[in-house]
Amino acid sequence: MDRRRLTHELASEELPAYALGALDADESAGLAEHLAECPLCQADLHRFDALLGLLGTAVPQESPPPGLRERVLARAASEAHVAPIADRPALRLLPRWARAALAAAAALVLILAGTVALLLYNQWQIRQELDALRAEQREMASILAQSAWWAPVTAEAGQGQPVVGRLYLQEGQAGVLVIDGLAPLAPGQVYQVWLIRPDNTRVSAGVFTVDASQRATLVIHAPGTWSAYQGMGITVEPGPAGSPGPTGPRVAGCSLADWQPGGL
Amino acid sequence: MAREPSDQELMAGLQQRDHQALALLYDRYARSVYSLALHILRDQAAAEDVTQEVFLQLWRQPERYVQERGPLGPWLLRVTRNRAIDLLRRSSRERRPAHPDARAADLHIPDPSPGPDEHAWSATLATRVQAALGELSDAQRQVIELAYFRGLTQREMADVLGLPLGTVKTRVRTALRRLAEILMRDGVWTDVG
């Protein structure tokens, strides 16, 4: 989607509505793009998030039914066999492909770090990229750790390649797509992710490519909230920015009706 | 006399799978969590489900809470609000436009806290937040109500209120920024920033 990049001033104006989840799909996606690269807006967003927590106190107070306490504690006790989180290496929480994807991302950071040393004249630009990549990695790990649902991603019938993947969904609007088995693309092409509304209109959720491993892991921000979509599809589109609407063959997708509770 | 353990100590207890820590956190925050879920969903069973989910999630993934981002109570309420709004939107997806009454202004504003409640961590905060909300105009409070408690987007609010989208956007922006300014002036904001 050829979305106009938001200036910092415009993004800053829309942050309160973004924090409330009150933006339209396109506006929300544009702001998410800006947020990914603007530490000022990220800090501002954290403050609005805190403010919205406070706002939750301003309702009439009611006591929960007495039986609820026992139910919650009994459910927790029944899960007591789970090892303490602190005793588990964090990455063991992730499935094999997610570990591999994160390892690949980490390796990429190292490669970029080496590039900084080699290309001193371009140091500033590369630093920006590194920071963005690290931020993305942190965000990805955070979303994976917080994901409440996942949906299986499968190849479109008739495609030669066996595509398997999962879309992990955090409550709200963030998710991580982990996909394996996508064919490398011709130069100038990209894979584009589409979120499908109940009325079958498509909203672009970003573009990506795959490396020789045919694997990709990417963060997706659903404009609005996940509940506004019934499915996700991936098509091949002209790069680097993709298309305003799907034009190429659909290679994989998932139905969000197949959501499974439980994260990693 | 033993002092009450801090949230930080109780969260450390959760990391060690201490059931007593969960029980104490429940006793401290369940009323606020349940009240917010009930206010949004207006359905006791659904509010109970959200409350249970919020505490079980805290039990399963205590590391999700990052202390540097602010105190535990408001953070739990943010998780609660997001879950409740998600549920509300999902359940009403087919039967929009069951638009809420745009005139409804059921933010709990002018009524001061119903009396000292030693167990309600939120009583002091609520009083200050309610006072801050009271300083907003009716129009500003209305958009906060519709967005925060009903989960309406700005466009939906424009439809419901019969206002131009630009007007709604301005109201949302000024309402939330003004609220932040008031809370900062009153020293509440620094507690959370």
pLDDT 10s digits, A8-67 = 888 999 999 999 999 988 888 889 888 888 888 888 888 888 889 999 999 999 999 989
Report the gap between the CA of A39 and the closest CA in chain B (Å): 15
pLDDT of residue A115: 62
Nearest to residue B136, comparing CAs of B177, B165, B86? Answer: B177
* Spatial distance between the Cα atoms of B88 and A260, rounded to a whole number of angstroms: 19
pLDDT of residue B116: 39
Determine which helix (DSSP H) or strand (DSSP E) holds A153, and give its type and residue range. Answer: strand A149-155
| Beta strands A189-196 and A231-238, pairing class | antiparallel
Residue A61 lies in a domain: no
| Beta strands A202-208 and A260-261, pairing class | unpaired
Residue A136 lies in a domain: no
pLDDT of residue A179: 85
Residue A176 lies in a domain: yes
Whether the Cβ atoms of residue A15 and residue A5 lie closer than 8 Å to each other: no
pLDDT of residue A64: 96
Q: Is B34–A64 a contact, with Cβ atoms under 8 angstroms apart?
A: yes
Domain with A253 in it: 147-261
Is A102 or A69 the better-scoring residue by pLDDT? Answer: A69
Contacts of B94 (CB under 8 A, 6+ apart): none
Residue-wise pLDDT for A156-180, tens only, equals 766 566 667 888 887 667 888 888 8
Residues of B in Cβ contact (< 8 Å) with A46? 69
Q: Is A61–B114 a contact, with Cβ atoms under 8 angstroms apart?
A: yes
pTM of the shown model: 0.58
**Chain A, chain B: beta-carbon pairs less than 8 Å apart:** 203
Residue of B79, B86, B96 to mutate for A, most A C-beta atoms under 10 A:
B86
Start-to-end C-alpha separation, chain A: 31
Residue A120 lies in a domain: no
Task: Flag whether pLDDT at A88 surpasses 50.
Answer: no
Q: If DSSP codes are grouped into helix, strand and coil, which group holds residue B97?
A: coil
Q: Is B188–A54 a contact, with Cβ atoms under 8 angstroms apart?
A: yes
* Spatial distance between the Cα atoms of A184 and A99, rounded to a whole number of angstroms: 21
List, in sequence order, every residue forming a beta bridge with A24; answer none if it has no partner.
Answer: none
Residue-wise pLDDT for B67-119, tens only, equals 777 889 999 999 999 999 989 988 776 454 444 444 444 454 444 444 434 44
Q: If DSSP codes are grouped into helix, strand and coil, which group holds residue A243?
A: coil
Residue-wise pLDDT for A193-240, tens only, equals 999 988 888 888 888 888 777 888 888 888 777 878 888 999 999 888
| Chain A, nearest residue to B134 by Cα | A58
Report the gap between the CA of A18 and the closest CA in chain B (Å): 10
Residue B138 has, within 13 A of its CA and on its CB side, a CA count of 4
Residue A42 lies in a domain: no
Q: Is B35–A171 a contact, with Cβ atoms under 8 angstroms apart?
A: no
User: Which residues in chain B (47-106) have CB-CB distances under 8 A to chain A?
Assistant: 47-48, 51-52, 55-57, 59-64, 69-70, 73-83, 85-86, 89-90, 93
Share of chain B above pLDDT 70, in %: 82
ipTM of the complex in this document? 0.85
Minimal Cβ distance to A50: which of B61, B69, B80: B69
* Spatial distance between the Cα atoms of A149 and A168, rounded to a whole number of angstroms: 6
* Spatial distance between the Cα atoms of B163 and B176, rounded to a whole number of angstroms: 19
Count how many domains chain A has: 1
Residue A164 lies in a domain: yes
| Chain A, nearest residue to B96 by Cα | A228
SS (H, E, C) B141-178: HHHHHHHHHCCCCHHHHHHHHCCCHHHHHHHHHHHHHH
User: Which residues in chain B (118-177) have CB-CB distances under 8 A to chain A?
Assistant: 120, 122, 125-126, 129-130, 133, 144, 147-149, 151-155, 157, 169, 172-173, 175-177
Calculate the dihedral angle through the C-alpha atoms of B29, B31, B36, B40, rounding to the nearest 10 degrees. Answer: 140
Q: Is A61–B62 a contact, with Cβ atoms under 8 angstroms apart?
A: no
Minimal Cβ distance to A48: which of B32, B152, B176: B176
pLDDT of residue A4: 53
CATH of the domain at A186: 2.60.40
pLDDT of residue A160: 60
Residue A241 lies in a domain: yes
Report the gap between the CA of B1 and the closest CA in chain A (Å): 26
Q: Is B78–A62 a contact, with Cβ atoms under 8 angstroms apart?
A: no
Residue A154 lies in a domain: yes
What band does A123 get if pLDDT is binned at 50, 70 and 90? low
Task: Flag whether pLDDT at A93 surpasses 90.
Answer: no
